[in-house]
Chains A and B, each alone.
Chain A
Amino acid sequence: MNPGKPTIRLKSLKRLNQLASEVGRDVAFMEVCGTHTMSVFRSGLRSLLPKNVNLLSGPGCPVCVTAQSDIDMLIALAVDHDVIVCTYGDMLRVPGARGSLEKARGDGADVRVIYSSMDAVTLAQESPGKQIVFAAVGFETTTPATAAAVDYAKRMGLGNFTVLASHKLVMPAVTALLDSGTVHVDGFLLPGHVSVITGWREFDPIVKQYNLPCVVGGFEDEQIPEALVDLVRLVGEGRAELINQYPQAVAEHGNPSARALVKKVFELADVRWRGLGTIPGSGLVLRDAYRTFDAQARFNLSQPKDREPKGCRCGEVITGAVTPPQCVLFDNGCTPTNPIGPCMVSSEGTCQAWFKYHRVGVPKRRRLASMRRRDPKTGKPSVLEVQP
């Protein structure tokens, strides 16, 4: 026998409802991690939140914040050069000016989906006659893996491995967002995975300079509502503090050896973000000692102009300025099957989360005699209660 899973009775939900009603006004929190966005929808938590507690998705989906020009450059590389492009699956279907990597693959380009940066290095070792390019995207969580791959490739003297990196940092984006004055939130649900690397101290300035409460949250069913309980409580008490609700994974100073490896391979740079423009010191580029592993230099790629899809409001979605249904393209030309913007493509994208788990058609309620059907032989009522 294989029983199903036990139902979870969230203890924190009751407390959340109680605290939210005590606050007595609408409160909005921003989650800055695509995995939080997806978890909230996938677990159905969104349908259980108190009416006055709103969750806004911030710039936490790595694919979604990647500038359109970086995506166009990657697709051009796959189409115009005789290389094997290795990518995380999420990048495959992001549309660019010349189609997507998926389309390029269909047209004959060699594009491979990998799970780990080291898969690309192994492929390079096994394919001496081919140039392997790893499309490296992601925040602090995936950067150490890219750094490890590049460092290893250098030690092995691999001449056929490069990365097209658009790694980004969370904190500069949050600061830019708060400085822009376009988004009004009462606190932040901080990214658990990113904090594993950075440590929770990284986010101190949000509390100290912007006077907003922050909670580092895990991803399990009980962990997100627990983090929200703390946030609502802090708002109610009018206190700006940073609470670590994910101590089993997140330490004050994170993972110093991972950060040291990143620092060895990468240096800070001003990079472009979708929806946020260029943010000083918000991205990472390869240091001079590793410049030979930069695909842009090796293949002499020119940076195209940022031309975002017409009508697409991904830039506003990832900064929490609008919710997906406020975009005219949402479910109206832009769907996961035919995505126009990256937020609809990525499995962590806010638009995909809304579309996949939250889009409800116009319900037409209808009661039928057949709902109260009885067994014609025994006259017994049906075994299941039917919800009208």
Chain B
Amino acid sequence: MTHAAPITDTNHRLAEGNDKPRGRVTLAHGGGGQLTDELLDNLILPRLGNDLMGGLLDSATLAATGTDKLAMTIDSYVVQPWKFPGGDIGRLAVCGTVNDLAVCGGDPVGIALSLILAEGFEMSDLAQVIDSIAQAGEEAGVSVVTGDTKVVGRGQADGVYITTAGVARVPQGRTLSPKRVNPGDVLIVNGPIGEHGLVVMLAREMPKVKSVLRTDAAPLNGLIQTLLKKVPDVLFMRDATRSGLAGVACDLARDSGWRVTLDEARIPVRPEAQHAADMLGLDPLEVANEGKVVVVVRPYEADAALAVMRSHPLGEGARIIGHVGGVEDGLCELHTLIGGRRIIQKPYGEQLPRIC
């Protein structure tokens, strides 16, 4: 690809390299012309560039080996507000896609990035988003290898939307599936739940409330690969994103056909997260996480899995939170703090705040 000569229109001129960029996104930045080149050369490539992407071909070519399978996923990110304590839409876009690959037992090899920007989005904000993408990619050990940028008119989109697709290598013979789960198997979560969703809900609904909560968004491939090395026969994993831990546990019960029982006393929830949830009228069980994975292992491997997870920085708070029971009704049940029992339902979808 030939690089266009830099244009000199100072209104549209971006600061080069990693200097703080000036100005705003214009429709022409998405037009595929000189301004798009400048956006790439001066804002995106200095932050994300690598050998594979630097060629700016229509697609990247990734190394493959004969014995592995490939896993592929795609996800869109439209979170509002785009920036929240502890992260932003860029960090989310990398972590979400990496985690979707990781819970299938995959080792991510490359990410494709599609940006949809609204006319008028601040260049300095865009730089922040790209920096977050680069930072999260570095943490995950995976690069953005190809991408696309479009700009839509003011008001047609809300600031910035991101789509990321990812490809990962999965060793032959690795199958993670709810069908492999049987009575007695143990559910483990890698740390306290509900924080990402609560942080975003607080930022959206109660921006004046100051909280120490931060999003838990983190790439889990390192933790999961470490676990799979030590405990290869993990039965099933899922990251507890939208609809939270409740959603994962209910799906596991439904798809395995067995009753899944969670123990409320063992489910880690930070007190500040519980307070935020109470204030917003939400249940931490049903709130999204972006750095939490539920792992199901055979009972005799639970201690080993727990030890491995706790030895990793992203699994220090790992706990056994429940087990698969012998009742074949596909329901999810909670043993409550006071020793009672109740059903857990998959959340409806939109988190509706309560009335009083």
Contacts and interface: CB of A to CB of B under 8 A. Distances in A.
Interface of B: 182-184, 186, 191-192, 205-206, 259, 261, 263-270, 280-281, 283, 298-303, 316-317, 319-321, 323, 325-331, 334-343, 345, 348, 350, 352-356
Contacts of A8: 337-339
A247 interface: no
Given A221-B338, A368-B183, A371-B326, A356 B355 contact: no
A201 interface: no
A375 B342 CA distance: 32
Given A375-B300, A383-B186, A48 B326 contact: no
A40 to B, nearest CB: 9
A102 to B, nearest CB: 8
Interface stretch (A176-184, A257-265, A357-365): A357-365
Given A3-B268, A370-B182, A336 B348 contact: yes
A371 B348 contact: no
B208 to A, nearest CB: 11
Contact of A44 (B317, B321, B335): B335
Interface stretch (A50-58, A88-96, A288-296): A88-96
A364 B329 contact: yes
Interface stretch (A22-30, A67-75, A136-144): A136-144
A340 interface: no
A386 B325 contact: yes
A237 B56 CA distance: 85
Given A7-B337, A44-B336, A361-B330, A383 B299 contact: yes
8 contacts: A8-B338, A137-B355, A366-B326, A373-B300, A375-B298, A383-B299, A383-B300, A384-B186
B355 A48 contact: no
A365 B340 contact: no
Contacts of B303: 383
A89 B270 contact: no
Contact of A364 (B191, B328, B337, B345): B328
Given A89-B352, A346-B355, A347-B354, A371 B183 contact: yes
Contact of B326 (A2, A9, A47, A387): A387
A255 interface: no
Contacts of B298: 373, 375, 382
B339 A357 contact: no
Contacts, number: 186
A89 B353 contact: yes
A43 B340 contact: yes
Interface string A46-87: 111000000000000011000000000000000000000000
A372 B326 CA distance: 11
A356 B337 contact: no
A44 B339 CA distance: 7
A347 B269 CA distance: 22
B269 A44 contact: no
A308 to B, nearest CB: 21
B342 A348 contact: no
A5 B319 CA distance: 12
Nearest to B302: A383
A46 B186 CA distance: 27
Nearest to A41: B342
A4 B348 contact: no
B60 to A, nearest CB: 39
B329 A362 contact: yes
Nearest to A382: B299
A93 B301 CA distance: 45
B340 A361 contact: no
A13 B337 CA distance: 14
Nearest to A89: B352
Contacts of B268: 2-4
A45 interface: yes
Contacts of B317: 1-2
B201 to A, nearest CB: 10
Contacts of B339: 7-10, 44, 48
A370 B300 CA distance: 12
Contacts of B345: 336, 355-357
A386 B206 CA distance: 44
B265 A5 contact: yes
Nearest to B349: A337
B55 to A, nearest CB: 44
B316 A367 contact: no
A175 interface: no
A80 B280 CA distance: 31
Given A346-B355, A383-B303, A365 B316 contact: no
Contact of B352 (A6, A93, A361, A363): A93
A193 interface: yes
